[in-house]
Amino acid sequence: MNLHAIAAIYRFEMARFFRTIWQSMVSPVISTSLYFVVFGAAIGSRIQEVEGISYGAFIVPGLIMLSVLTLSLTNASLGIYFPKFIGTIYELLSAPVSFLEISIGYVGAAATKSLIIGLIILATSFLFVPIQILHPFWMLAFLVLTCLTFSLFGFIVGIWAKSFEQLNLVPMLVITPLVFLGGSFYSITMLPPFWQTVTLFNPVVYLISGFRWSFFGQADVSIWVSLLAITGFFALCLAIVAWIFRTGWRIRS
């Protein structure tokens, strides 16, 4: 394992993150704070509680997941897309660095950025609503696993994309709608039976449900099903990344 190469890629990506601190860190926190204000004032005044939990506290896990999923995917996809775009990816491929080491460097940096943002948003939420985390270990485990999984997914998107338009396609047209329709601002038990069944085909439901369980001890689906879903998606993304570097798909061409 070439730890020096991993550390070099990781440090480079983290340095880029801190150079654009306003865009990378402050902007997502402000955007999430606006969600608290808007949803807390407009909807929270009409919906006092959801399953015995105040509405303001209920939406906190969903808001964190909304930011973490989007930022993990965006950070990782941009991290690998730019070397492709300017041609420096070939220097990396010609160096004595394996696909695993390249992936660890880029995905690790993207996951770290998203984890930092997620924890800052969590800390910010205490300014708006009282929150009690019943299972802090599982909360952190779900957060880390989600950051890693969607950073891997973003890594794949960055390799697949041939333009900036394609790069923004998945976060805007796939991830964001799935999060909004995945129970981030409501419990799926509030839906009619037919739509509850349809919603269960949304993979993001399992992430948000498991993450919310770590806060309040309540979930729309079993915690073990949620854990199995995120672990399975992580394994699938890892297998796809391994195939990409083995075949050189959209990297060497």
Whether 80 is in a domain gets the answer yes
CA distance 165 to 176: 16
Q: Is residue 89 part of a domain?
A: yes
Q: What is the pLDDT of residue 45?
A: 63
DSSP 221: S
| pLDDT score of 195 more than 80 | yes
- Residue 50 sits at φ, ψ, to 5 deg, of -130, 115
Instruction: Tell me whether residue 45 is in a domain.
Output: yes
Q: Which residue range forms the structural domain that includes residue 178?
A: 3-247
Per cent of the chain over pLDDT 70 is: 96
In a domain, 220, yes or no: yes
- Measure the CA–CA gap between 97 and 149, rounded to whole angstroms: 22
pLDDT number for residue 166: 86
- Please write the tens of the pLDDT for every residue from 62-90: 989 988 999 999 999 999 998 888 878 77
Radius of gyration of the chain measured on its C-alpha atoms: 19
User: Is residue 252 assigned to a domain?
Assistant: no
Amino acid at 113: K
Residue 253 lies inside a defined structural domain of this protein: no
Residue-level pLDDT at 169: 86
Mean pLDDT of the chain: 87
pLDDT of 41 above 70:
no
The answer to whether residue 99 is domain-embedded is yes
In a domain, 35, yes or no: yes
What tokens were used for 227? 């854990």
Which of 32-46, 79-93, 162-176 bottoms out in mean pLDDT, i.e. has the lowest?
Answer: 32-46
By C-alpha distance, which of 246, 248, 195, 14 is closest to 110? 14
The confidence score (pLDDT) of residue 223 equals 92
Average pLDDT on 119-138 reads 90
Of the chain, the percentage scoring pLDDT greater than 90 comes to 38
Torsional sign, CA 164, 166, 169, 175: negative
pLDDT value for 163: 86
181's enclosing H/E stretch is none
How much is the average pLDDT of 58-64? Answer: 90
What confidence score (pLDDT) does residue 213 get? 95
Mean pLDDT to the nearest integer, 3-12: 91
Write phi, then psi, for 251 (nearest 5 degrees): -115, -50
- Six-digit token pair at 38? 């808007």
What proportions of the chain, in percent to the nearest 5, are helix, strand and coil?
75, 0, 20
Indicate the number of domains in the chain.
1
Task: State residue 57's pLDDT score.
Answer: 87
pLDDT at 253 over 70: no
Residue of higher predicted confidence among 100 and 206: 206
From residue 96, alpha-carbon distances to 3, 104, 126, 149, 239 in Å are 12, 15, 47, 26, 21
Residue ranges of E strands in the chain: 49-50, 53-54
The predicted model gives 120-125 an average pLDDT of: 90
Mean pLDDT is lowest, of 3-7, 33-37, 82-86, 138-142, for 33-37
Q: Looking at the predicted structure, is the pLDDT value of residue 40 above 70? A: no
Q: In this structure, are residues 76 and 154 in contact, taking their beta carbons and an 8 Å threshold? A: yes
Once rounded to an integer, what is the mean pLDDT over residues 195-217? 92
State the pTM of this model: 0.90
Residue 252 pLDDT grade (very low, low, confident, very high; cuts 50, 70, 90) = low
